[in-house]
Chain A
Amino acid sequence: MSTLGYALTDTSTMLRRQLKHMQRYPSLTVMLIGMPVVFLLLFVFVFGGTLGDGLGGMTGGRDAYLAYVTPGMLMITIAGVVQGTAIGVAMDMTQGIIDRFRTMSIARVSVLTGHVLGSMIQSFLGIAVVLGVAVALGFRPEADALDWLGLVGVIALISFGLIWLTVALGITAKSVESASNSPMFLMILPFLGSAFVPTDSMPTALQYFADYQPFTPFIEVTRSLLAGTAVEGKDLALTVAWSLALALLGYVVAKKNFNKR
């Protein structure tokens, strides 16, 4: 078999390992997915009435806010999942088996790609659950088949970028605790973007930051796709650029540090 062939086989082996870990300790996955659900309920029922009126749409109120906040919640979901990635990677690196992997003739990167694919599955699982809850609360996406396809692609791309970033955070972390703290900023970023309120309601400097940080384009593309409206070229370009840049950065840093340890 070719080197690439082995790399793929080893990756699927490591993914199986990852899935077994998740299966054996489902509490982490449940917590990672449960948190955005709680957030969604909180924002819709506690803040939704008032914030919805503030959106200035035709209907306003809770229903309008549900439609507005759901795409943001999906990104919060991903941000939560990748926090789990960093913890998982950091924890894994403390396991003795990693040293065994290092002395074996395997595609080394498969240890990391196993984590990446495992988190990818968690991410889609989380998105499905949160979207399901939103629909149960009355959210009605207007997306057509092509929009859904686009949505899957965009979610995969964004998850990919953020997951590789947090693999790097997990691997460079001095301890499991610091690995669980360092991706915290990813949870804050949606708040400093268009997740909960439109950015044009923010002070100019903040608005500028909000419009170009990764989460606003992520959220805007997702929002357009779910609403069945045209995706803005600039948002799409920023989404692709940010995702690939984060993935590349994460990959390079993670790989270097994995080999170095």
Chain B
Amino acid sequence: MTTTKPLAIEARNLTKSYGDKVVLAGIDIAVPEGTVYSLLGPNGAGKTTTVQILSTLIQAGGGEAFVGGHHVTRDADEVRSAIGVTGQFAAVDTLLTGRENLQLMGRLHHLGKQETKRRTEELLERFDLVDAAKQTPATYSGGMKRRLDIAMCLMGNPRIIFLDEPTTGLDPRSRRTMWAIIRELVKGGTTIFLTTQYLEEADELADRIAVLDGGKLVAEGTPEQLKRMIPGGHISLRLHRADQVERAAQVLAASGSDIDQLTVQVPSDGSVDSLRKVLDTLDREGVEVEELTIHTPDLDDVFLSLTGQTTTAA
């Protein structure tokens, strides 16, 4: 793999089985520093397992993984000092208050009294937890618990952050807040490894998306590349006259047309190139276009087709 930036996370042929059950059947991951990588997959795909291996919680059955340049099992301690982890389920101390939870993290990161105090207040402020700081997480809403969880993970200023389904169970507003937080972190140069079941989320945040299904990566690429991977994208044109519809359908090898509606559908991957070609052709033929819409398959289509689920599952 040739990338200009050094890799923050690299895994080769990672496998994991529980008894007879193969959970990961050999996956490769490469995440350049300062980018967002999203692992997308349905329930039971192996997302959490992957995060657990990369964050030194469990050992892989086979293959090798490096995080921050360190081997995840041989140099687990170096890996641990480079990462922050927010697991799928809240990893907070339910008997301590929000503030005490953050202070605990500060002490464990050996930040010193002043710095611990400063960062604690800063993070409480930033994550809108000032009012709840004196309460234990037992009284928190799901969104507040998530925010505290992420705040705790940031206490040590990690260079690489693992977020396992950080927005599952959050309302749309909290989800957007979380996205903003993630974007801000990326701006600061942090590498993010994110798992999600929401395609929209991966689309919004990720530089690269990998689709995990049944322990295998069934697709990998930028959101755009993934969207182009499946057929079904087309350009829909509305013209002025019926004769133009017939003409256009002919020269463009249309996949469908409707004389009454004055529309023509042309297969397309949605790229600028294909669009330009269509318009150039119509120009040459002297066909005027009244309206044009591009239908790219959205990631839901990609996801469902790649993971072999029926559309009704969406």
Name A's B-contacting residues (CB within 8 A): 1, 6, 9-10, 13, 16-17, 20-21, 24-25, 95-106
Contact = CB atoms under 8 A, between A and B. Distances in A.
30 contacts: A1-B110, A6-B110, A13-B108, A17-B93, A17-B96, A20-B95, A20-B96, A20-B100, A21-B95, A21-B96, A24-B136, A96-B89, A96-B90, A97-B94, A97-B101, A98-B91, A99-B57, A100-B87, A100-B91, A100-B92, A100-B152, A100-B153, A101-B108, A102-B56, A103-B57, A103-B83, A103-B85, A104-B80, A104-B109, A105-B81
B156 interface: yes
Nearest to A12: B107
B107 A13 contact: yes
Contact of A24 (B55, B83, B95, B101): B95
B104 interface: yes
Given A103-B56, A103-B85, 15 more contacts: A1-B110, A6-B110, A13-B108, A21-B96, A24-B96, A96-B89, A96-B90, A96-B91, A97-B91, A97-B101, A99-B57, A100-B92, A102-B57, A103-B55, A103-B57
A96 B95 contact: no
B77 interface: yes
Contact of B94 (A95, A101, A102, A104): A95
Interface in B230-244: none
Contacts of A105: 77-78, 80-81
Contacts of B55: 103
Contacts of A25: 95
Nearest to A91: B95
A10 B110 CA distance: 9
Contacts of A104: 80, 108-109, 156
Most interface-central of A13, A21, A97, A106 (chain B CB within 10 A):
A97
A16 B95 CA distance: 12
A240 B100 CA distance: 39
Interface string B31-45: 000000000000000
Contact of B93 (A1, A9, A97, A102): A97
Contacts of B77: 105
A103 B91 CA distance: 11
A105 B55 CA distance: 11
A100 B85 contact: yes
